[in-house]
Amino acid sequence: MQRSLFLLVLLGQCFFFTCYLYEYRFITENKTWHEAQKYCRENYTDLAKVFNMADMESLYNLTKNQREAWIGLYNNTDGKMSWHWSLPGVEYIENNSNWNLSEIHSNEGQGNCGRDRDKWGNASCAHGMWFICYDEKKKGNKTLYLIKDKANWTRAQNYCRYNHTDLASGTDQVDGNEMKDLKISHGERMSVWIGLFRDSWRWSDGSDFSFRYWDMQLFNDTQSNKTCAMTLLNRSGKWSSDECGKEKPFFCYDDKVILVKENKTWEEALYYCRDKYLDLLSITNLEDQQWVQEKAKNASTPFVWLGLRYTCTLGFWFWVTDEVVEYKNWDSDGTTDGCDMSAAMESRGKHKWFSKLDNNLFNFFCYKN
Ligand SMILES: *[C@@H]1O[C@H](CO)[C@@H](O)[C@H](O)[C@H]1NC(C)=O
Ligand SMILES: *[C@@H]1O[C@H](CO)[C@@H](O)[C@H](O)[C@H]1NC(C)=O
Ligand SMILES: *[C@@H]1O[C@H](CO)[C@@H](O)[C@H](O)[C@H]1NC(C)=O
Ligand SMILES: *[C@@H]1O[C@H](CO)[C@@H](O)[C@H](O)[C@H]1NC(C)=O
Ligand SMILES: *[C@@H]1O[C@H](CO)[C@@H](O)[C@H](O)[C@H]1NC(C)=O
Ligand SMILES: *[C@@H]1O[C@H](CO)[C@@H](O)[C@H](O)[C@H]1NC(C)=O
Ligand SMILES: *[C@@H]1O[C@H](CO)[C@@H](O)[C@H](O)[C@H]1NC(C)=O
Ligand SMILES: *[C@@H]1O[C@H](CO)[C@@H](O)[C@H](O)[C@H]1NC(C)=O
Ligand SMILES: *[C@@H]1O[C@H](CO)[C@@H](O)[C@H](O)[C@H]1NC(C)=O
Ligand SMILES: *[C@@H]1O[C@H](CO)[C@@H](O)[C@H](O)[C@H]1NC(C)=O
Ligand SMILES: *[C@@H]1O[C@H](CO)[C@@H](O)[C@H](O)[C@H]1NC(C)=O
Ligand SMILES: *[C@@H]1O[C@H](CO)[C@@H](O)[C@H](O)[C@H]1NC(C)=O
């Protein structure tokens, strides 16, 4: 009884250590990109990576400085390009059966943006095409919108991000039933832009976040000696690239979550975190889930413990940090209520949560200072 009262009182509260999983630092010293990377890795976690527009805003809001500043994005000059989905958090999973590379329409050209017809194909990003926006607000189950307006890929992405959420991204959206219905209701076959693009840019810490905020008026992806990315603080933070040897101030990020690669039972993990760091991790929204799932990929066990446990006496799941269990990411078959059950995230695949017996030995996430 006392516990449930405690939970109610804490509703809507935000602890000093659980409001955020990472923070940005602006360093005013002028350094080359590689010196800046060394500085960030030694004193924080790494050069700043940016997950979405909200991240970009908090980074931009940190300083009144109006100059250029390095971020953690660099060009992988070995020429290897990788495909990404435009919608932050949707992972691109290589699968050749989604593509038909022999289907080439001469007017679409070939390039670094992805279009959908019967299968996916690459087309020149400058080509004008109708496009499909995804809207997370789900008006009466509708999430996909066909925009019958010929736009190049960048313009289509802008339109979707402004008026909806993003270009349609991921196989669930692009190959799902709603998309099939949309194509059938249109009648004839059509080519449309979807949220696929490829580039050779990489984040310093190795994560494959797909967010890009290039200033298309200034950024030119063919000047091959400008291989480090900067944010232009006098152009609302939009990005361009410059020669890595130039000296600029820079942004670092400081991770507040650590993946402990030791194999422990849930209870051992809890005490380990409380002893050495702060606590086992809570995940209370989609952004937090997406931020940590990137890290789960480095685990040495197939699952990673979270601070979510089932109480047998009261009959509900609770976060050990006392946060309210509102956001959930259970696998559809993975949850069993029961005594001695705690939650663990899949290290790979869709990073869903599963209930697991406490005595399993898994890696785990802790909050740290
Ligand atoms: C960095 O360089 C700029 C321009 O060269 C200069 O105005 C600024 O004072 C320098 N900042 C520091 C901390 O040295
Ligand atoms: C870490 O920060 C300290 C103090 O700000 C600085 O003196 C040191 O050079 C930094 N480390 C690196 C590798 O730059
Ligand atoms: C950034 O600052 C603007 C204006 O001051 C504010 O509206 C916005 O909420 C801030 N964003 C973040 C993520 O802090
Ligand atoms: C980035 O690298 C690719 C090859 O890996 C090259 O084609 C492109 O021009 C480079 N862009 C910049 C801005 O350096
Ligand atoms: C690849 O895509 C096809 C068709 O969309 C699907 O049936 C298959 O399961 C996918 N394979 C993998 C390994 O995801
Ligand atoms: C790929 O496109 C070509 C040309 O339109 C077509 O003949 C072929 O059947 C397509 N292949 C698949 C697997 O859809
Ligand atoms: C895309 O369209 C916009 C506006 O219509 C234009 O300003 C921009 O230059 C175009 N970009 C490309 C790559 O064609
Ligand atoms: C939305 O979909 C669900 C299940 O697919 C269905 O039960 C519900 O009636 C649908 N709502 C509307 C407004 O179409
Ligand atoms: C949003 O939609 C309206 C109406 O379709 C369109 O005129 C406008 O250009 C769109 N906004 C952006 C930023 O594309
Ligand atoms: C980008 O840079 C290349 C090489 O310096 C140049 O040939 C090209 O015209 C530039 N493109 C734009 C749009 O400025
Ligand atoms: C980079 O390329 C530009 C234009 O091609 C040239 O002016 C500049 O000297 C080059 N810088 C280096 C360090 O090679
Ligand atoms: C943890 O267990 C995995 C297998 O589940 C094993 O591959 C790994 O080496 C173990 N790690 C440690 C530190 O014992």
Please work out whether the CB of residue 140 comes within 6 Å of at least one atom of ligand 8: yes
- 67 lies in the same domain as 111: no
Please work out whether the CB of residue 222 comes within 6 Å of at least one atom of ligand 10: yes
Rounded distance, CA 217 to CA 248, Å?
Answer: 21
- 222 lies in the same domain as 304: no
pLDDT at 75: 96
Please work out whether the CB of residue 187 comes within 6 Å of at least one atom of ligand 8: no
Rounded distance, CA 319 to CA 330, Å?
Answer: 14
pLDDT at 19: 54
E-strand ranges in 140-205 read: 142-151, 166-167, 192-199, 201-203
Instruction: Please tell me the distance between residue 3's alpha carbon and the centre of ligand 7 in angstroms.
Output: 57
User: If DSSP codes are grouped into helix, strand and coil, which group holds residue 232?
Assistant: strand
Encode pLDDT of 165-216 as tens digits: 999 999 999 999 999 999 888 888 889 999 999 999 999 999 889 999 999 9
- 159 lies in the same domain as 217: no
Instruction: Please tell me the distance between residue 98's alpha carbon and the centre of ligand 5 in angstroms.
Output: 7
Q: Whose CA is nearest to atom 5 of ligand 6?
A: 103
4, pLDDT greater than 80? no
In a domain, 6, yes or no: no
Segment 336-361 shows an average pLDDT of 94
Beta bridge partners of 133: 145, 167
Closest ligand 2 atom to residue 38 Cα is 13
**Residue 226, domain CATH:** 3.10.100.10
Domain count, the chain: 3
In a domain, 65, yes or no: yes
For residue 99 the two structure tokens come to 């593509």
In a domain, 14, yes or no: no
Q: Whose CA is nearest to atom 6 of ligand 8?
A: 141
Rounded distance, CA 327 to CA 228, Å?
Answer: 37
What single-letter amino acid sits at 146?
Answer: L
- 229 lies in the same domain as 317: no
Could you give the residue ranges of the DSSP H alpha helices within 125-186?
A: 153-163, 170-174, 177-186
- 283 lies in the same domain as 331: yes
Rounded distance, CA 178 to CA 143, Å?
Answer: 8
In a domain, 16, yes or no: no
Domain residue limits at 307 = 256-367
Segment 294-306 shows an average pLDDT of 95
- 179 lies in the same domain as 87: yes
pLDDT band of residue 78 (cuts 50, 70, 90) is: confident
Rounded distance, CA 96 to CA 114, Å?
Answer: 14
- 307 lies in the same domain as 359: yes
- 168 lies in the same domain as 187: yes
pLDDT band of residue 106 (cuts 50, 70, 90) is: confident
- 30 lies in the same domain as 69: yes
Is the Cβ–Cβ distance between 355 and 343 less than 8 Å? yes
Please work out whether the CB of residue 223 comes within 6 Å of at least one atom of ligand 4: yes
Q: To test ligand 4's pocket by mutation, which of 76, 198, 212, 222 has the most ligand atoms within 8 angstroms of CB?
A: 222
- 347 lies in the same domain as 333: yes
Q: To test ligand 2's pocket by mutation, which of 37, 40, 41, 43 has the most ligand atoms within 8 angstroms of CB?
A: 43
Give the number of the ligand closest to the Cα of residue 118.
Answer: 6
- 42 lies in the same domain as 102: no
In a domain, 4, yes or no: no
- 183 lies in the same domain as 218: no
Residue 215's Cβ-count burial label (10 Å; 0-12, 13-18, 19+) is middle
Is the Cβ–Cβ distance between 163 and 133 less than 8 Å? yes
Please work out whether the CB of residue 240 comes within 6 Å of at least one atom of ligand 4: no
**pTM for this model (two decimals):** 0.86
Provide the mean pLDDT of the chain.
90
Rounded distance, CA 24 to CA 44, Å?
Answer: 9
61, pLDDT greater than 50? yes
Q: Whose CA is nearest to atom 14 of ligand 11?
A: 225
Encode pLDDT of 121-179 as tens digits: 999 999 999 999 999 998 888 999 999 999 999 999 999 999 999 999 999 999 999 99
Instruction: Please tell me the distance between residue 26's alpha carbon and the centre of ligand 1 in angstroms.
Output: 14
pLDDT at 215: 95
Beta bridge partners of 69: 231
